[in-house]
Amino acid sequence: MKVCIAEKPSVARDIAEVIGAKQRKDGYYEGNGYQVTWTFGHFCTLKEPHDYTDRWKSWRLEDLPMIPPSFGIKLIDNAGVLKQFGVIENLVKACDEVINCGDAGQEGELIQRWVLLKAKCTAPVKRLWISSLTEAAIREGFDKLRESTQYDNLYAAGSARAIGDWLLGMNATRLFTKKYGQGKAVLSIGRVQTPTLAMIAQRQKEINSFVSEEYWELKTIYRETEFTATIDRLKKLEKAEKGLAYLLEHPFEITAFEKKEGKEGNPKLFDLTSLQVEANKKYGYSAEDTLKHVQNLYEKKFVTYPRVDTTYLSEDLHPKIEGIMRELTYYSQYTQTILSSPIPKLKAVFDDKKVTDHHAIIPTGVLPSALGIDEKRIYDMIVRRFLAAFFPECKVSNTTVLGKVGQLEFKATGKQILEPGWREVYANDNTAKKENPEEEKVMPNFEVGETGPHEPRIHHGKTSPPKPFTEATLLRAMETAGRQVDDEEMRELLKDNGIGRPSTRANIIETLFKRKYIEKKKKNLLATQTGMDLIDTIQVELLKSAELTGIWEGKLRLIEKGEYAMDTFKQELIDMVVNLTQEVKRTTGKMIAIAVEIPEKAEEKPKKETKPKTPKPEIAIEELNCPKCKNQLLKKGKTAYGCTNFQVCGFKIPFEMMSKTLSDKHVFDLLSKGKTTKIKGLVMPGRPEPFDGKLVMNASFNIEVE
C-alpha cells in the first residue's frame, strides 16, 4: 500500500479522485493501492524552552542565552491535530511507500518532514512536485514522482529558518522584556518582524522631523507648452519676482528639439510579492488578503502555485502556452492577437536559470466559475499580466525641448504612445486607469532658433515630507532589504537577500498589527507609540538592520541550493545570540511601558481596532510640570503627555495603558500623588482575566501596576 500525505483535506480529495482512491475512511481515502490522508497546516513545532528544562519555565536574565544541546519537535496540543496525526502514524507504520504530497515549497516540505519524523517513518519516501492542482498536472506529477532526497536541502533550509527564528526570538524577547520591560508586559523581538518594524518607525521619524520649506519656480508658456526653468528652486520670493521681471523683458527662443522613438518593455509576470503590491495599489487589499484569494484560486485549479518569488517561466512550459491561451475564452479579444502567430520563446519570459522550485503565477486554462468579486479581481489581474507578457511592445515617442529667455534656460518633456502594444490588454481596465493615469503630453514640432512671445509666471510650492509606507511599498522594501529600487532587473538580483519570504511577509505585517506595533490609516502604515518605543529601546543595530537580516536570508537561500552548511548557519546564530545577550546585559537604559502582547491563539481574525479617544480635558494637566526634569508638560501628538524637553528627558504618560484609556484625573493623580485610584478591567499577559489595580509611578518615573 502507498500512503499519500497532502497538506489539506481538499487537496487530498482532489488527489484521491485522480488516482482512484475513492473509498472514504475515517481520516483518509483508500482505493487502487493507495491511501490518501492529510494534515491541515502545521502539526509539529519546535519544542518550547520549558520542554528542555524546568529552569527555563521562568523568565530570568541569568538563564540567558537559552541554547538547547539539540533541537527537538513536538506535536501541537490540539485535539484535531492529535487525532489526525494518529491516523497518519498508523497508516505510515503499515505502508510500503510514502508519497509526500505536501505544498511544493519550503514551508510545505518542513510541515511534512516533521510529521514523518514524529511518526517514525521507516518506509521509502517519494515526492509529488506539481505547480497546479489540475487533473492533468496531478497525473503528470504521479507519472514523474521524485526521490524525497532531492529536497533534503529544501528541508535543511526550512529547519535552519525555524531554528534561527527560535534562537533569536526566544532569547531576544526574554532578554529585552526582562531588561527593559515594565511589569509583565512583553517586548516581542523577531528576526524579520523587528527590522520590518524598524523600517516603518524610521520612516515615521523622518516624517515627524520633516520641516516643510517654501520654494518658488519660474515657468513660462510658449506655443501652448509649459516650460520650467532649469535653475535650482528659489528659496525667496524676492528672487523669483526679480526673475519674472527679467523674463518679461525677453522673448522665448528654442535652443534644442529632440524626438526619439522608443519602446516600453512588457510587464513581468507576477510573483507573489508583485501580485500583492499591485492588488494593494489597485484595490487596497492587504498582503494577507491577496495571499488568501490567490491561494483559493490555486486550490480551485484556476491558477498555478502562488507562493513563488520568480517572474519567469521554465523553458519546458513554452509548448503549453498556446493551449492555455486557447482555453481563456473570456479573453478571446486579446488571445486572438497573440495566437495569430506562433508564441515566441521570449528570454524575458522563459529562463530556466531564474526559476527554482516553481515558475511565475499564470492561469491554468481551467475556466473559473462561481468566483466572488475579490477572487475575480485577482484572477483578472493574473490573466491580464499573462496576456500582456506575449503582446507586442508598446512604442512611444519621447520629446525633449530646450529653450531660453535671455540667459535663463528652460526645459519641457512630452511622451506620446504611438502603438499601444501590450497596453491594449489594459485599455478597458478602468481601475488601472484610475490608479495609473497615462498623461500623454503631445507636443508641437519646434524649430531650433525660432523665437516669440511667451507667458511667464511664478509657481509657488512647498517641499513634501517622505511618504509613509503602504503595504505595497513595505512589501517592496522587504523584498529589497530596505533599498529603494525601481529597476525590475536590479530587484530580481536583490531578491535572494530580501527579508522574509514571499509566503511569510504577509504574516509578518499582520503580526505587527496584532501586537499593536503598527496601525493603518487609510492605506498608510504607521508605527504606534508602542512600536516606536520598542525600536528606540533596541540599541543593538543587528536586530533592526534590514540589510543584515537580508544577509541571513541569502545564506538560507544558499542552504536551499546546497551551497552553505546548515550547521555553520546555526553556529553563527548561536554565536550572535551569545554576543547579543552579553552586550545587552552590560548596557543600561530606561524602562519602558509597552502595551500587552496579544496571545497568538487569539489571532484568527483580529477585530478592527478602534483608535483610543483623547481624554476630554477635565483638569488642566498642561499646568503641571514634568516630575523628572520639571519642564512644562504638553500633549505629544495624539498618544501621550510628555514634557517640552522630551528628546532629552524621555518622560511621558500614554493616553492608553493595559487596554484602558486613562482619564485626565488618572494622569493628574499620577503626576501629583504618584498613583491613581483603582482602575477596573486592566489587561496584562500572564493573567487570563481582566483585573482591577492602581497605576503607580516608581522612583525611576516609570509606571507600574499595584
Q: Three-state SS for 325?
A: helix
| Three-state DSSP string of 621-683 | HHHCECCCCCCEEEEECCCEEEECCHHHHCCEEECEECCEECCHHHHHHHHHHCECCCEEEEC
Please state, in angstroms and rounded to a whole number, the distance separating the CA atoms of residues 88 and 98: 11
User: CB neighbours of 633 closer than 8 A, spacing ≥ 6?
Assistant: 621, 622, 624, 625, 626, 641, 642, 643, 644, 671
Q: What is the DSSP string of 106-124?
A: HHHHHHHHHHHHHTT--S-
Rg (CA), the chain: 30
Q: Please, what is the Cα angle at 60 between 56 and 64, to 5 degrees?
A: 70
Residue 305 annotated as catalytic: yes
- Residue 568, amino acid: T
Q: Tell me which amino acid residue 66 is.
A: M
Q: Which three cell numbers stand for residue 643?
A: 514634557
Give buried/exposed letters for 301-320 (b at 16+ CB in 10 A, else e): bbbbbbbbbbbbbbbebeee
Query: Which one, of 306, 296, 302, 319, lies nearest residue 269 by Cα?
Result: 306
- Count Cβ neighbours within 10 Å for each residue of 521-532 and write b for 16 or more, e otherwise: eeeebbbbbbbb
CA atoms within 13 A on the CB side of 260: 8
Q: Are 402 and 318 in contact (CB under 8 A)?
A: no
- Contact between 229 and 218 (Cβ < 8 Å): yes
Query: To which H or E segment does residue 399 belong?
Result: strand 394-405
Residue 471 near residue 282 (C-beta atoms within 8 A):
no
Among the listed residues 180, 285, 305, 564, the single catalytic one is 305
The DSSP call for residue 426 is G
Question: How many C-beta atoms surround the C-beta of residue 619 within 10 A?
Answer: 17
Cell numbers found for residue 19: 488516482
Tell the burial category of 462 from Cβ atoms under 10 Å away from its Cβ (0-12, 13-18, 19+): exposed
Give CA separation, 493 vs 36, 348, 497, in Å. Answer: 40, 15, 8
Query: Comparing C-alpha atoms, which of 352, 294, 345, 354 is closest to residue 321?
Result: 345
- Residue 411: which H helix or E strand, with range? strand 408-419
Report the alpha-carbon distance of residue 510 to residue 466 in Å, rounded. Answer: 23
- Residue 477 grid cell: 522594501
DSSP three-state, residue 304: coil
For residues 69 and 184, give the distance between their C-alpha atoms in angstroms, rounded to a whole number.
Answer: 29
Active site members: 305
